[in-house]
Structure 1
Amino acid sequence: MNAKADNAAPPPQEQPATREAAFGARLALGALWLLHFLPYGAIGRIGTAVGLALWPLARRRRAIALRNLELCFPQWTEAERKRVAKAHFVCVSRAFLDRVVLWWASPQRLARVLHLEGAVEEALHGKGSALLLGLHFEGMDAAWTALTLAARRPLSGMYTPQKSKALDRWVLDGRSRFHTERIVSRRDGASGMLRALRRGTPFYTLPDMDFGERHSRFIPFFGVPAATLDAVPRLAASSKARVYPVVARMLPGYAGYAITVYPVWDGFPRVAGGTLADLDADLLRMNRFIEQRVLEMPEQYHWVHKRFKTRPPGEPSLY
């Protein structure tokens, strides 16, 4: 008998807690799948009720949202910030439940919910590469579904892996439903994005979160220095990509989403002699654009994320 085989460690067994968590995730996804058969308005009303119920319960996220609003809008009264934060919880819950429609409903049903407008043809099918600048409004998944549904060629997008395998598969499958070449993991960094852009594949990215100091610069966002990823101007310069901002707005009355592809940003990024001429100015332009859209619908921006978590050297935490 082979001694090496006798001494080999047995294969790792799945822990009971892990199995229970996996079963719970599959059970939850089953319940969500059943939910998608309801009328869209009914799903929206359930999302509203869940958001209102979470407001008093999710204390940590509530505190983050209120602190972000305090930093960005010090001129507002406490009551104004509370009103927007509470409405934001409703938007977060509604957007999460809307995924059952985005990721399981028929294209015909989606056409009644997703209203795509703006420079769509130019951004998706124009010559050369295109960087689709998605932003962290709660309709970001609605924007991606609308773009891939409208495209006549595959698109690529960014993706943050989930801890739960069942949830991870749900997200990947949902975001890959229509005309998708590849969903690039954020762990792959900018290299996967750059390869797609150099192949001429339009790429949808969401750069407006705090991912730490690496590859970021401190650029004002509503007057507060915020760690801002420098990927968009660098990628656009390296691939000679045109940049089109994409913003999704949750419509009142449970009417779905209006997704706008804004005109191409002329002169972005600033390049001189084949190199980036003013990276800070490019990033400030991006943040100023986000600020303008936030002012139009402040309750729909992703305030439950610690946007100002990373601080310049020597500065204390803001949370």
Structure 2
Amino acid sequence: MVDYARTPFSRSRPQKPETDVFGEIRGDALLSRLLMKFFDGSLAEKGIKKEDVDEITVGVASGVLENWTYGGKIPAFLSGFPHHVASVFIDRQCGSAGTGMHIGIMEIMTGFSTTVLSTGFEHMTRVRGQGVEPNLSMADKASEFYRPDMDVATVLNMLQTAQKLYEEEVPTFTKEDMDKFGVRSHNLTIKNQESGWFKGEIIPIQGHAPGNIDEPMLIDKDLSARASTLEKVATLPRLSTPFYLEKNGGKEGYIKREGTDEGVITPGNASPLNAGATAAVLMEATEAEKRGIEPMARIVSMGWAGVDPSVMGRGPVPATIKALKHAGLSA
């Protein structure tokens, strides 16, 4: 990997789109603005041009409606890539842009590409579940496709997948552990914004003032971060509903352990909704050396794995184990 960049990440409010500073910008346009500035900035300094790219990978978790990219070509057209540059669209739940990097890495490893631009975008304000009509026959007991091992209702609810994973992992960690992690994450983000840590990584993008689409504003930092304390986060409303798993003593055991019959997922320990775009340039090692470009990272392995989608947050664990094993490493 020889360079990377991203937009700031906004704070998405699907019910109040005007409060999202990128609410008036399509996701593909957001990515395209990033790429135009990326190639005019640090990539130009390194001598990397759009025509040098063999493949563009575009990852989007919900490639429907305006997020449909024509196989990744629309962002390529918008940002001025010549027609000989190929593209591909990826939908991996969850990790589409990461899988785009996997594809680029394998193209380079096998000698079919020299330079790959791996990108991704998401816009949870403009496209959040609309235009999606999944076949849920596996939840119908009368269907030939019925799967008794599928908890479809939980699969479709991010709050509930987190709650179920938490209950399955008791007593590995507690709500307080999650709250501490959330507080640390938000506070570190604020600290690093103030220190300039993200300078060079985040490319400022023109948006609008929160709540006023007629007031232009240059956005240069992530907007979901909130400085806080463990005491404040502990009082935030609980948004998830418990499963009261029998292996943990059912409802009685849950209340005894948690001190409440409410869930443990709150705005302080859950991932926020946002809009943003990312990009990374992958290059074959000898090509980078020939160009005098110092790599930022060397790719030694990768991994992917499937898990029960109702506890999809567990996915990175077996995927990481695979990647480590392939590289001869261990956790």
TM-score, normalisation: structure 1: 0.28
- Identify the structure with the greater helix proportion: 1
More relative contact order, 1 or 2 (CA 8 Å, 6+ apart): 2
